[in-house]
């Protein structure tokens, strides 16, 4: 039975989840957990926090699944939830005030520190980009969402998303170029 | 392409989403624009970043899975009748969408993908009043808008109900909003009208072919205009975008739908879903429901079972009722029960001109065979999609059926999810036990359940939505063939397509009264269904709506007829046959709903046949204005837009019937008149209720029927005026409200640390402050405010009145008399000072523009006099000593009152006891044996007291020899305070100038004394009193009782030892102090208690005051800090601005430099070109520039034109170099070196102006006039020549001597 479900598209699965919530959602979970986990990881929180966000995102998606109306692709819908979860989390963090987490991030952004490898370099570059731009950038660059859908997920108009995306990409390039040369 | 556009396309290019045409344009732009090119290069670096995926930790997967085990809230809020809900005891679960669930924007594209999905389960919606969920222009959601009014008008014609819902939403925000109107459609209803308020006018929507509608919609949306599109969505929820909703404005949306009312045993029920969580939490401002019911047959009974309403009957066929409420929070739906008395078969026709006729056949089959014992298998859907309330309903249904069994009936209960479970043959009790164990879980395998059922009748109860095993409808139907099945659909989202075809479908929807419906359905058990029912007849076509019906159920079949005239209609089914004579009319404008009904039935038949009938469905939908999966309602802003879009609006004929029937038919005319009257009445009523929008609509409707109807015209105009007036009024009222709110907010000021402070009530404060003020005033001026206005007047005159005076050797008495006359004050020279100052003494005094006071002082001051104002308002010119005495006396009088209680302090009394009563020397006026006299002033040191005993009131100070026999301070009276301490000399040389000291609290605060003074006073008291009486010690007790100093006798209560000064004790008068408590028995102790309480209270107030002061200080500090921060912030902002300006400037400079760079580059390129040209001509340009060389001519051979110079290869001279020979700044010749040795070089003259000589300078520089001025030349150059050269240089440089 699970085999049948695996052949269905995300959207059909989401509809099927109304009658067979666990089976269908299990398949959706299997399909999306990896990319979603990495998406959250790329937003700059530490691993422990990412675990929490990951669980919350899937839990919310599972709860909200009966309300899924096929107005967007399932993937976009899921990432929209993830973006909301991230926003909520960020707000909560701001309310709590600066934590060690933030201080660590600040330490990492010290330019003098030597870079371990390319990922560190990218991380450092992305840390200097506003959170929402970072989300858009990662959605398009790493999660493979079309710009229009990524825009929907982060709540921008497609045109604004394009401009933002391009500027973010350029900024990342700008931040990376000198660092790379230094490494060489 | 501009750089901004390029940015967009570069993003697309990097994401691989760019269109080829745009790519070409972009590439062209990149070739031309260096900035964009650079940006793009950077972005390419950014786009190539790699961040490899990492696997999800295994534990995380497991924990997440575990957190998802809990079943999701699949079915939302299944509403049953309130009574039913109470009976069922089912917890109602309402799921509001979580904040993190993405808002689902009403995109057209998303809506477009919906296709008819009879196989897919529609989401069950909580059937509620339509809502308008909004967001502002920044996309921030603002929630559902409130409903100002909600009007429903229901027309039930022959059991077909048309419900028109008009909702007036109110934008309560100050922003322009965009909304999504959602409207849940009751099961088996179809939308027939959508109208929207656009620019204050109601614009009707028109049903168009879906794709076309979408196209138009999108093209208009692109132009930022405001159309609306209502599209079919699976699941019975309709959505439409509404924009703009202006700030603080209202928006009206009108939706109409038609449904055929279910009828069983002659009873019909109409339900309008009014109760919902939303209407309960946000009740609409006004709710109006008008119901009009009309039947061709008689209407035996009509009533609202949910609300108590009066029924207005017009005749036997027609009745109406109205429900009206304000801020109504509905607890139940609006339900109307109708009982028409109808013939078994009734045919109603409608025949418009130029079209085939329509007929509707209402049939209620009667009869049927008697019930016989049978085997029943109840199949219960127990899949996960069945919510608890639904399952409960199913169980109740089974129970109700079993309760109605007849002897011989056998029952079995089957449940099916993925697996099938059977109860075996059961009685009611066993069935109950079995059913109680049902737990809905998993998918639904309908076929398996049907196959598992044995012979006999199968009663299927559930959704009929197969999700497991065989899911294809056709195959299930095929497999179920030959079985006797009846189906009961539970919930509005049941798969009717399958259940209907399985046979004998009956429904229970959330809108039903569950108990009643269960009973109705149970009653059909054993009764036969008329299966394979057909409606036939000659001349009849396109019949729709036929299905299996039970005896007692009402069938609504519809069809068309071609030729008019008498005909026959045959209803036939298994075991049922009726033939009806009908006379199809040639023209019939009445019974207009039949037309729509036909289309509706026909459409649902077609839709059941699947997508292959799309063309037909679309055509019918457009023609009859019914929304289907392939047709949508489109609302445009104006009639002009329809023309612009070249769209033909299909007239909503059925809705405009009355508008068109103007002639001929007398019945119709009557009907029109009646309708107009009815509308007019409604309009007037609406006006009364100030529903001006409604009135306007109604008037418009009337004017549609009769465009010249003057009453309606006038009313409309009148209403417009009223509306304007009201809006203005509302505006003012809102403003007032806002102002009120502003001040209301301040009604409860927040006091910092209020919980810690004890704030007295207003009355208490008033009292305390009054008393404190009085006390202070008394302390300072010695008089009470308002006590002596005359005194104030005198003071004022003295202070302000100006008198000019000029006296020379005038008697003082005359001067005083003059002042008395001039001022009108009673100025008197004190008789007591006459011995000191002679009134006949002459004075010389001259002053002008001085106040009376100053004049007085100037005149009498030199005489050693002062003035005072006596209590009788006499300005007495008297001795300063006397004045001081009087002042002290007045002040003391003020002190004698407790500022808080107002009670007079009672001085201790003394008991004078002459040692020898017979000794006349000891007899003092006012003192007798054991006499208790009032002690006014007692000096402990001098052991004297002053008493006011003389007739004149003048104090007599006597030093009385005395000894204190005993102190009795057992009750801790505040005696100490009453000891006058004025003039006390402390050991440190300071004096107390306060007339009284009085201890008033355990903490030792004394009125009129500072703490230091108080401490001193205590000390003094000990020193003087106790030293004198060594047997007595004083102890100041602390505690909260407010009792003060307590004196204890150290050596028992026996008599104190004699005074230490034996001389003063000779006359041994005994003084005895007696506390006020002793003096005035019980009242006094009470006073003391109150006083003590007041003192505590005062202490508390003082503490609070201190706290408040501290807080004030803190607040001030914070304020200061804030101001500082603000200042810093503004400085920072200024700096930032400055930095920005600098950045801008730098940027500008940079761009300028870039421009220059470009120019230079261009020049360079130009030069390079030239160089290239030169190179091509054979020139060697790869010669390194020469360094500047200078030397001298060392040898000259003019005959061969050879010159030898003093520099050679070592200096950098090479063959071919050119050197110029100068003398005194003049060019003599130019040579080309043809031989270069290490130390010298020789060259031929190439240009000759003069004869070179030895000693001339050579240089490879190119100067206009030599390398150096001539005066710097070596001596080898003749002086005259040098001078001349100098002159020339000077001339050239513009210098003159």
Tell me which of A100-114, B234-248, B1003-1017 is least confident: A100-114
* CA B501/CA B475 separation, integer angstroms: 12
Q: State the DSSP code for B1025.
A: I
The string of pLDDT tens digits covering residues A9-38 is 888 888 777 777 777 888 888 889 899 998
- Residue B536 has which token pair? 């036939």
Average pLDDT over residues B1057-1066: 32
According to the model, what pLDDT value does residue B227 have? 65
Q: Does B1114 touch chain A (CB under 8 A)?
A: no
* CA B782/CA B615 separation, integer angstroms: 108
The string of pLDDT tens digits covering residues B1128-1146 is 888 888 888 888 888 998 9
Burial B406-420 (b: 16+ CB within 10 A, else e): eeebebbbbbbbbeb
Closest Cα in chain A to B106:
A71
Is residue B998 over pLDDT 80? no
Peptide bond into B194 cis (omega under 30): no
Is residue B1178 over pLDDT 70? no
A-chain CB neighbours of B139 within 8 Å are 155
* CA B134/CA B105 separation, integer angstroms: 10
Average pLDDT over residues B250-263: 84
Compute chain B's Rg from CA coordinates: 58
- Residue B405 has which token pair? 């069994």
Per-residue pLDDT band at B66 (split at 50, 70, 90): confident
Q: Among partner residues A25, A33, A142, which is closest to B61 by beta-carbon distance? A: A33
Return the higher-pLDDT residue of B916 and A32: A32
Q: Look at residues B649, B666, B651 and name the one whose alpha carbon lies nearest to residue B589.
A: B666
DSSP B667-717: HHHHHHHHHHHHHHHHHHHHHHTT-HHHHHHHHHHHHHH-TT-HHHHHHHH
- Residue A58 has which token pair? 């899937």
According to the model, what pLDDT value does residue B91 have? 25
Tell me which of B198-207, B364-373, B974-983 is least confident: B974-983
Q: Among partner residues B11, B46, B443, which is closest to A20 by beta-carbon distance? A: B443
Q: Which residue has the tokens 């005076």?
A: B805
Q: State the DSSP code for B1193.
A: E
Q: Among partner residues B46, B65, B468, which is closest to A169 by beta-carbon distance? A: B46
Q: Which residue has the tokens 């009974």?
A: B301
Other beta carbons less than 10 A from residue B899's beta carbon: 20
Determine the residue among B11, B73, B103, B463 to mutate to test chain A binding: the one whose Cβ has the most chain A Cβ atoms within 10 Å. Answer: B11
The string of pLDDT tens digits covering residues B1098-1108 is 777 877 788 88
Q: Which residue has the tokens 């308008």?
A: B132
Per-residue pLDDT band at B741 (split at 50, 70, 90): low
Q: Among partner residues B11, B57, B123, which is closest to A66 by beta-carbon distance? A: B123
Would you say B294 and B317 are in contact if contact means Cβ atoms under 8 Å apart? yes
Is residue B993 over pLDDT 70? no
The contacts of residue B476 (CB under 8 Å, 6+ apart) are B446, B447, B450, B466, B470, B498, B502
Percent of chain B with pLDDT over 90: 1
Task: Find residues 124-143 of chain B whose CB sits inside 8 Å of chain A.
Answer: 139
Contact assignment for A170 to B14 by CB distance below 8 Å: no
Average pLDDT over residues B878-893: 67
Q: Is B598 exposed, middle or buried (0-12, 13-18, 19+ CB in 10 A)?
A: buried
H-helix or E-strand spanning residue B777? helix B762-781
Tell me which of B412-421, B470-479, B759-768, B1143-1152 is least confident: B759-768
Would you say B170 and B147 are in contact if contact means Cβ atoms under 8 Å apart? yes
Cα distances (Å, whole numbers) of residue B161 to B128, B260, B293, B330, B338: 18, 6, 9, 22, 12
Closest Cα in chain A to B465:
A19
Return the higher-pLDDT residue of B1031 and B560: B560
Most trustworthy range by pLDDT among A108-112, B749-753, B1279-1283: B1279-1283
Return the higher-pLDDT residue of B856 and B752: B856
* CA B1263/CA B1226 separation, integer angstroms: 10
According to the model, what pLDDT value does residue B1173 have? 83
Percent of chain A with pLDDT over 90: 7
Contact assignment for B72 to A37 by CB distance below 8 Å: no
Would you say B821 and B814 are in contact if contact means Cβ atoms under 8 Å apart? no
According to the model, what pLDDT value does residue B770 have? 60
Collapsing DSSP to helix, strand or coil, B859 comes out as helix
Closest Cα in chain B to A72:
B110
B-chain CB neighbours of A153 within 8 Å are 102
Average pLDDT over residues B826-832: 82
Is residue B22 over pLDDT 80? yes
Average pLDDT over residues B526-538: 73
* CA A68/CA B1243 separation, integer angstroms: 99
According to the model, what pLDDT value does residue B221 have? 63
Determine phi and psi for B805, rounding to 5 degrees: -130, 140
Would you say B292 and B320 are in contact if contact means Cβ atoms under 8 Å apart? yes
Tell me which of B79-93, B486-500, B507-521, B1226-1240 is least confident: B79-93
Q: Does B219 touch chain A (CB under 8 A)?
A: no
The string of pLDDT tens digits covering residues B1106-1120 is 888 888 888 888 888
Collapsing DSSP to helix, strand or coil, B423 comes out as strand
Return the higher-pLDDT residue of B24 and B776: B24
Q: Which residue has the tokens 């013939």?
A: B343
Burial B323-338 (b: 16+ CB within 10 A, else e): beeeebebebbbbbbb
The string of pLDDT tens digits covering residues B744-763 is 555 454 444 445 555 555 66
Q: Among partner residues A60, A71, A122, which is closest to B101 by beta-carbon distance? A: A60
Q: Look at residues B452, B451, B453, B412 and name the one whose alpha carbon lies nearest to residue B435.
A: B412
Is residue A5 over pLDDT 80? no
Q: Among partner residues B43, B120, B468, which is closest to A169 by beta-carbon distance? A: B43
Return the higher-pLDDT residue of B985 and B1054: B985
Average pLDDT over residues A138-157: 88
Is residue B799 over pLDDT 50? yes
* CA B1015/CA B121 separation, integer angstroms: 93
According to the model, what pLDDT value does residue B960 have? 41
A-chain CB neighbours of B465 within 8 Å are 19
Average pLDDT over residues B375-384: 85
Q: Which residue has the tokens 């005094």?
A: B845
Q: Among partner residues A142, A163, A174, which is closest to B51 by beta-carbon distance? A: A142
Would you say B873 and B796 are in contact if contact means Cβ atoms under 8 Å apart? no
How close does chain B come to A10, measured CA to CA in Å? 15
**E strand residue ranges, B217-285:** 228-230, 237-245, 250-260, 263-264, 267-272
Most trustworthy range by pLDDT among B19-33, B331-345, B515-529: B19-33
**Mean pLDDT of all residues in chain B?**
70
Determine phi and psi for B620, rounding to 5 degrees: -65, -45
Average pLDDT over residues B700-713: 80
According to the model, what pLDDT value does residue A79 have? 92
Contact assignment for A81 to B100 by CB distance below 8 Å: yes
* CA B530/CA B546 separation, integer angstroms: 11
* CA A131/CA A124 separation, integer angstroms: 13
Chain-centroid distance of CA B189 in Å reads 38
How close does chain A come to B314, measured CA to CA in Å? 47
B-chain CB neighbours of A176 within 8 Å are 45-46, 49
Q: Is B526 exposed, middle or buried (0-12, 13-18, 19+ CB in 10 A)?
A: buried
A-chain CB neighbours of B104 within 8 Å are 67, 69, 71
Instruction: Report the greatest alpha carbon distance in chain A.
Output: 57
Contact assignment for A64 to B42 by CB distance below 8 Å: no
Chain-centroid distance of CA B1214 in Å reads 90
The contacts of residue B443 (CB under 8 Å, 6+ apart) are A1, A19, A20, A23, B383, B384, B417, B418, B467, B468, B469
B-chain CB neighbours of A41 within 8 Å are 54
Closest Cα in chain B to A64:
B101
Per-residue pLDDT band at B780 (split at 50, 70, 90): very low
* CA B125/CA B76 separation, integer angstroms: 7
Question: Could you give the angle at which helices A47-64 and A21-41 cross, rounded to 10 degrees?
Answer: 150
Determine phi and psi for A89, rounding to 5 degrees: -65, -40
The string of pLDDT tens digits covering residues B652-665 is 443 444 344 433 45
According to the model, what pLDDT value does residue B764 have? 62
Cα distances (Å, whole numbers) of residue A54 to A83, B728, B784, B842: 11, 54, 79, 111
A-chain CB neighbours of B12 within 8 Å are 147, 162
Would you say B511 and B333 are in contact if contact means Cβ atoms under 8 Å apart? yes
Would you say B130 and B183 are in contact if contact means Cβ atoms under 8 Å apart? yes
Task: Give the helix ranges, DSSP H, for chain A.
Answer: 2-7, 10-16, 21-41, 47-64, 74-96, 100-108, 118-127, 131-141, 147-154, 158-183
The contacts of residue B835 (CB under 8 Å, 6+ apart) are none
Q: Does B465 touch chain A (CB under 8 A)?
A: yes
According to the model, what pLDDT value does residue B1092 have? 66
Per-residue pLDDT band at B949 (split at 50, 70, 90): very low
The string of pLDDT tens digits covering residues B503-529 is 777 878 766 677 777 888 887 777 666
Bridge partners of residue B1231, in order along the sequence: B1219, B1245
């Amino acid at each position: 039975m699970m085999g049948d479900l695996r052949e269905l598209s995300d959207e059909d699965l989401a509809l099927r989840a109304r009658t067979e919530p666990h089976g269908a959602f299990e398949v959706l979970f299997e399909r999306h957990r990896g990319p979603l986990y990495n998406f959250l990881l790329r937003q700059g929180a530490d691993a422990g926090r990412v675990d929490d966000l990951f669980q919350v995102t899937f839990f919310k998606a599972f709860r909200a699944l009966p309300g899924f109306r096929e107005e967007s692709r399932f993937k976009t819908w899921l990432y929209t939830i993830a973006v909301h979860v991230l926003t909520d989390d960020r707000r909560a963090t701001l309310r709590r005030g600066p934590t060690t987490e933030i201080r660590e991030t600040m330490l990492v952004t010290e330019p003098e520190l030597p870079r371990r490898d390319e990922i560190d370099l990218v991380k450092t570059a992305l840390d200097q980009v506003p959170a929402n731009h970072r989300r858009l950038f990662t959605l398009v660059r790493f999660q493979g969402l079309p710009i229009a859908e990524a825009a929907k997920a982060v709540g921008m108009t497609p045109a604004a998303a394009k401009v933002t995306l391009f500027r973010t990409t350029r900024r990342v390039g700008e931040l990376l170029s000198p660092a790379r040369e230094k490494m060489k | 392409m501009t750089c901004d556009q390029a940015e967009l396309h570069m993003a697309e290019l990097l994401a691989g989403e760019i269109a080829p045409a745009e790519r070409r344009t972009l590439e062209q732009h990149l070739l031309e624009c260096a900035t964009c090119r650079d940006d793009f290069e950077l972005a390419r670096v950014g786009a190539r970043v790699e961040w490899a995926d990492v696997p999800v930790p295994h534990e995380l997967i497991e924990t997440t899975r575990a957190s998802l085990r809990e079943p999701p809230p699949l079915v939302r809020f299944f509403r049953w009748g309130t009574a039913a809900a109470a009976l069922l005891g089912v917890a109602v679960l309402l799921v509001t969408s979580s904040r993190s669930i993405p808002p689902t924007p009403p995109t057209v594209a998303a809506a477009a993908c919906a296709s008819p999905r009879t196989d897919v389960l529609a989401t069950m919606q909580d059937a509620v009043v339509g809502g308008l969920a909004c967001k502002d222009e920044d996309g921030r959601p603002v929630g559902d808008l409130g409903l100002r009014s909600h009007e429903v008008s229901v027309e039930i014609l022959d059991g077909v109900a048309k419900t028109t819902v008009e909702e007036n939403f109110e934008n309560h925000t100050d922003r322009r909003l965009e909304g999504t109107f959602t409207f849940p459609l009751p099961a088996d209803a179809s939308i027939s009208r959508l109208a929207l308020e656009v620019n204050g006018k109601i614009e009707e929507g028109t049903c168009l072919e879906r794709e076309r509608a979408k196209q138009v919609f999108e093209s208009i949306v692109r132009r930022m205009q405001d159309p609306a599109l209502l599209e079919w969505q699976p699941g019975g929820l309709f959505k439409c975008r509404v924009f703009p909703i202006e700030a603080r404005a209202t928006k009206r949306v009108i939706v109409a739908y038609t449904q055929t009312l279910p009828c069983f045993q002659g009873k019909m029920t109409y339900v309008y879903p009014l109760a919902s969580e939303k209407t309960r939490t946000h009740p609409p401002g006004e709710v109006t429901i008008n119901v009009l019911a009309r039947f061709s047959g008689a209407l035996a009974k009509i009533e609202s079972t949910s609300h108590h309403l009066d029924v207005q009957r017009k005749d036997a066929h027609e009745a109406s009722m109205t429900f009206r409420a304000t801020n109504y929070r509905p607890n139940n739906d609006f339900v109307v029960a109708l009982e028409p008395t109808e013939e078994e078969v009734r045919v109603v026709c409608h025949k418009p001109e130029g079209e085939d006729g329509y007929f509707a056949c209402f049939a209620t089959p009667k009869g049927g065979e008697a019930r016989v014992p049978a085997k029943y298998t109840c199949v219960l859907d127990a899949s996960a999609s069945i919510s608890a309330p639904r399952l409960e309903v199913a169980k109740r249904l089974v129970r109700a059926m079993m309760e109605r069994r007849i002897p011989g009936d056998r029952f079995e209960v089957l449940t099916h999810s993925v697996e099938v479970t059977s109860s075996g043959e059961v009685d009611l009790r066993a069935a109950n036990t079995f059913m109680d164990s049902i737990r809905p879980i998993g998918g639904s395998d309908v076929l398996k359940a049907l196959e598992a059922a044995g012979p006999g009748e199968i009663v299927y109860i559930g959704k009929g939505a197969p999700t497991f095993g065989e899911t294809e409808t056709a195959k299930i139907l095929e497999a179920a063939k030959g079985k006797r099945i009846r189906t009961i659909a539970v919930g509005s989202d049941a798969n009717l397509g399958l259940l209907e075809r399985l046979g004998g479908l009956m429904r229970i929807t959330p809108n039903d009264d569950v108990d009643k419906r269960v009973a109705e359905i149970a009653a059909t058990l054993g009764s036969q269904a008329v299966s394979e029912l057909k409606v036939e007849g000659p001349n009849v076509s396109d019949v729709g709506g036929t299905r299996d019906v039970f005896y007692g159920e009402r069938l609504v079949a519809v069809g068309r007829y071609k030729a008019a005239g008498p005909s026959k209609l045959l209803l036939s089914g298994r075991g049922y046959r009726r033939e009806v004579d009908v006379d199809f009319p040639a023209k019939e404008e009445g019974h207009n709903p039949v037309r729509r009904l036909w289309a509706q039935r026909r459409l649902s038949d077609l839709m059941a046949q699947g997508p292959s009938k799309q063309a037909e469905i679309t055509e019918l939908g457009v023609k009859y204005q019914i929304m289907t999966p392939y047709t949508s309602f489109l609302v445009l802003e104006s009639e002009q837009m329809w023309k612009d879009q070249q769209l033909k609006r299909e007239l909503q004929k059925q809705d405009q019937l009355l508008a068109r029937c103007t002639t001929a038919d007398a019945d119709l005319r009557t009907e029109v008149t009646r309708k107009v009257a009815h509308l007019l009445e409604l309009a007037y009523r609406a006006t009364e209720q100030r529903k001006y929008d409604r009135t306007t609509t109604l008037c418009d409707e009337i004017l549609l029927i009769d465009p010249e109807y003057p009453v309606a015209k006038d009313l409309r105009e009148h209403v417009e005026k009223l509306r304007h007036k009201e809006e203005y009024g509302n505006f003012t009222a809102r403003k007032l409200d806002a102002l009120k709110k502003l001040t209301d907010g301040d009604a409860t000021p927040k006091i910092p640390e209020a919980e810690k402070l004890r704030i007295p009530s207003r009355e208490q404060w008033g009292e305390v402050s009054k008393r404190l003020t009085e006390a202070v005033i008394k302390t300072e001026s010695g008089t009470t405010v308002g006590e002596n206005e005359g005194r104030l007047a005198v003071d004022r005159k003295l202070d302000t009145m100006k008198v000019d005076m000029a006296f020379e050797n005038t008697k003082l008495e005359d001067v005083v008399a003059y002042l008395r006359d001039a001022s009108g004050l009673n100025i008197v020279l004190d008789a007591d000072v006459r011995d000191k100052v002679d009134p006949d003494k002459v004075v010389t005094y001259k002053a002008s523009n001085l106040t009376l006071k100053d004049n007085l002082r100037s005149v009498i001051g030199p005489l050693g006099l002062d003035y005072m104002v006596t209590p009788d308002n006499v300005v007495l010119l008297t001795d300063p000593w006397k004045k001081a005495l009087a002042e002290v006396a007045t002040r003391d009088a003020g002190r004698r009152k407790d500022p808080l209680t107002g009670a007079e302090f009672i001085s201790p009394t003394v008991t004078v006891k002459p040692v020898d009563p017979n000794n006349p020397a000891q007899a003092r006026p006012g003192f007798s044996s054991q006499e208790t006299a009032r002690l006014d002033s007692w000096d402990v040191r001098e052991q004297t007291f002053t008493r006011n005993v003389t007739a004149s009131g003048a104090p007599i100070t006597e030093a009385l020899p005395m000894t204190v026999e005993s102190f009795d301070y057992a009750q801790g009276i505040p005696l100490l305070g009453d000891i006058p301490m004025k003039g006390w000399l402390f050991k440190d040389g300071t004096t107390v100038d306060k007339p009284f000291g009085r201890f008033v609290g355990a903490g030792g605060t004394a009125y009129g004394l500072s703490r230091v003074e108080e401490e001193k006073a205590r000390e003094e008291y000990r020193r003087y009193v106790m030293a004198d009486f060594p047997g007595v010690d004083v102890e100041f007790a602390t505690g909260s009782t407010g009792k003060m100093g307590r004196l204890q006798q150290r050596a028992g209560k026996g008599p104190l030892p004699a005074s230490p000064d034996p001389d003063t004790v000779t006359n041994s008068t005994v003084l005895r102090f007696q506390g006020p408590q002793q003096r005035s028995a019980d009242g006094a102790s009470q006073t003391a208690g109150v006083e003590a309480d007041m003192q505590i209270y005062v202490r508390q107030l003082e503490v609070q005051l201190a706290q408040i002061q501290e807080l004030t200080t803190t607040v001030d500090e914070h304020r200061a800090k804030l101001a500082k921060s603000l200042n810093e912030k503004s400085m920072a902002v200024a700096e930032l601005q400055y930095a920005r300006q600098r950045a801008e400037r730098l940027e500008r400079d940079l761009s300028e430099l870039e421009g220059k760079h470009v120019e230079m580059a261009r020049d360079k390129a130009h030069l390079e070109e030239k160089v290239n040209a030169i190179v091509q001509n054979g020139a060697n340009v790869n010669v390194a520039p020469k360094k500047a060389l200078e030397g001298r001519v060392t040898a000259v051979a003019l005959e061969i034109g050879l010159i030898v110079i003093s520099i050679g290869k070592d200096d950098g001279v090479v063959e071919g170099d050119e050197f110029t020979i100068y003398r005194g700044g003049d060019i003599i010749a130019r040579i080309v070196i043809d031989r270069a040795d290490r130390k010298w070089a020789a060259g031929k003259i190439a240009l000759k102006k003069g004869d070179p000589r030895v000693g001339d300078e050579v240089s490879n520089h190119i100067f206009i006039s030599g390398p150096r001025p001539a005066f710097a030349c070596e001596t080898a150059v003749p002086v005259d020549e040098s001078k001349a050269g100098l002159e020339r240089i000077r001339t050239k440089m513009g210098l003159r001597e």
